[in-house]
Amino acid sequence: MKTELKKRLINSIDFLRETGFFKDHSNLSSEEILEKIFNGEIDFSVLWYLDGEEGMRKRREWRIKSSGTILKEHVVKYEEEYMKKSDAEIDCELAPFDTKRFFIESSEIEAVKGMGIALIKKLARISRGIFNPTDVREEWNWRYNVRGDVRCRVFFKFREKEHYVDFTSYGQALVMEPAVWKINELIKDTRYQYYSVFIPDLWINYVVLTEEEAEKLKERGWKLSLPPERLNLD
């Protein structure tokens, strides 16, 4: 890997750390964090059922390549393309490795039991302590039709009141925006909101920010938006 490219990756981690990422690795230099990403010690999954410590154990047991190993292979193979990427694009390649700040999930997954609870827990994990639901449970409406639509309604308690959000699967396309919009309404008095991060791929991405933090990332080139209340999917 070219020294200049490695320097760009390290500089991106420096920037992310300035915005509160990788706090669990405050004892490491940014270069050390990059190396641990590349060797799979710091990792993430885009599939909810392979998330967390148990998910990492399964990935190793099933000999699934770590996301960091895949990233390193891409960086080495496509060095010239990576050198042309913007700072924001490099940031968004590395941000998902902090699973306490960045939510990432495949938009093409099969809807199965356990998914709704797992998604709520993933959203809570990146909330910076703002969104802490309890008594989480899910109910399913298997609305099989030509398109194969399914709805997962997730109930939870927040601030001593019960609420619910709906995750919908159209075929195998996961729709989360209305659910996240509703969570944003619940936490709007905190100054923090869930922002959608646009990356041209098949992933769903969220990060929790204040308006000031969002503006700082936008100035760097991040494409952020607040999720809508409804989507027209007809």
User: Encoding tokens for residue 126?
Assistant: 């990146």
Q: From 103, 90, 118, 124, select the one nearest 15 (Cα to Cα).
A: 90
Confidence band of 209 (pLDDT split at 50, 70, 90): very high
**Percent of the chain having pLDDT more than 70?**
96
Q: From 137, 213, 203, 128, select the one nearest 173 (Cα to Cα).
A: 203
Residues 92-107, mean pLDDT to the nearest whole number: 96
Domain map of the chain by residue range?
Answer: 3-100, 105-225
Give residue-wise pLDDT tens across range 215-234.
Answer: 999 999 999 999 987 765 55
pLDDT of residue 58: 81
More reliable by pLDDT, 52 or 70: 70
| Orientation of helix 30-38 relative to helix 3-18, angle to 10° | 110
Give residue-wise pLDDT tens across range 86-97.
Answer: 999 999 999 999
**Percent of the chain having pLDDT more than 90?**
75
